[in-house]
Structure 1
Amino acid sequence: MKKSKAVVVSLFIVLFLSSCASLAKRERPYFHFQGMARSGTIVATVDAGAEPDLVASAFGDLSEFARRARRVSLSLKPTSDSYPVDQEALDAYGVVEGDFPRFLLNTGMMYSRELSKKSNKDGLSWFAQKDGPLSLYTPKNDELLFTNGSYEEAYASYKGQQRLITDEMALRMANASIALYAYEPETFFDLGLNLPQSVFQQAREVLMLIHQEEGLYTADAYITMENPKLAATLSQMVRSGYLARLKKDKIPFKIAELKLMFLLDEELVTIVQMPLSDEQMQMVKQNLTGVL
């Protein structure tokens, strides 16, 4: 009987240790946009399932490709400090994730008259436009990498999988319909909030999460300024601008609700569930389709 108990106890110990080993091997999820967040770069990621019309509009005639896409992530490095961002002055690369086999996409590109195949001495291959700046390739199943600059540099960033955006923040971005992020920005998109360029130039970090439910959009924004004084000024500016918009459109409001929408904590300005107008969303979508 004692031997039976010993066997049972030993079995439980083995099962426990095995489960611990399995948990230890379970990797943290990685999102490709996490490796894009270098200083001065604007990162954008779109949930294609939540925004099918936006993705379809961005890819134009490639309707089947757009339909199969799950997520589009972009790294946008402005080459000028003009504000809002000049869509013609961006070093960009991106990753489209979706349901498309590597072999089929690369074979299709191989036979495209507009593309030519390139490679380097390390064996890296890609396709480049004959009469344009675009380079692209499918390095693995379900992921298309593209850039208007150096494919080798874009691939190195893609392959490196650096976590420049924290896992917690990345998960929040992935759960939004559209997410925009910038670390130490010099410029930014026009979000329809009437913010001057100086706000972004004095910000350490900007995160904007746009959520959509039944066609209605709201935004959560987190802007970390260089010091509390700048944060207080920004908080007042955004609150006053939003209040002016409500009065102009004759939308009823309660001061108590506005206080919960605009929060200030030292250098951090937080905007919670701010409704976005059709005009504001059209502006955001035009910015994204323009760079794609």
Structure 2
Amino acid sequence: MIEDAFSDHPPFEIRQPATQTVPFVFNSPHSGRVYPDAFLSNSRLDRHSIRRSEDYYVDQLFDASPQIGAPLLAAHFPRAFIDVNREPYELDPRMFEGRIPPFVNSNSMRVAGGLGTIPKLVAENMEIYRKRFAIEDALERIDRLYRPYHDRLRRLMVKTHARFGYGVLVDCHSMPASAQSGNKNRPDFVIGDRYGTSATEALSQLAVSILQDLGYTVSRNKPYAGGFITEHYGRPARGLHAIQIEINRGLYVNEQTFEKTEGFEELRADLIRFMSLVTDYFASDFSDVALAAE
């Protein structure tokens, strides 16, 4: 049961400011570190290896967002258990026993890659499960975790839009320091806006410029343009904007031991500066950059 698995820890939490003073919501959907025992017992991976799909400590990197007047929604359940940055029913029928509901999307690229709503793999193509398990267990995860998580995120965005006339979602992630193919080093940050469809040019470019001014290398939309959350919540014509921020793990964590490095505190301080600058700018100048719905 989901309730038993998270009896000592809520599956997710909202860290709220005393008063929301800026039209921003920060979201960390992949930094969860609470692994249910029953899940681990059905996994072929040990407690260390299964963590390789985590966005290590991203919730902690952005945990100062309430201090600047913006809420932070953070998952405690791990991405390997259920991935809320997918459609609700992107499922691989080969993983489950029992009748698959007809509304399941089993043909998506993400399912084909083993990274559906209930992932088959963690990073480096390591299979999670020892054997098939009941489709009812997968559907329970969606009902008990996925849907409540998105319900809270949706409410945060609706509340923000109602209060300020527009809202900005910053979806916070981390990426491996190098690509698997060719071991090519990646930039320090990637800002994704679904190639201009989930946010205005002004918002995306400002995020890039601030990070560059802080001394970081920044790419836009390559290799990450944003996932389901960015695509689903970004509706610029309605005054709802969403960008994804990917952080190079080499800046702050040892990817073999998952321990924070000396760069963690410096990066966290720079991200506080980033959050302050981007929220201050749009809080005072949104009319000039047309974030509000037309």
Shorter-chain TM-score tier: under 0.3
TM-score normalised by structure 1 residue count: 0.26
Task: State the TM-score, normalized to the length of structure 2.
Answer: 0.26
More strand by share: 1
The answer to which structure, 1 or 2, has the higher relative contact order (CA under 8 A, 6+ apart) is 2
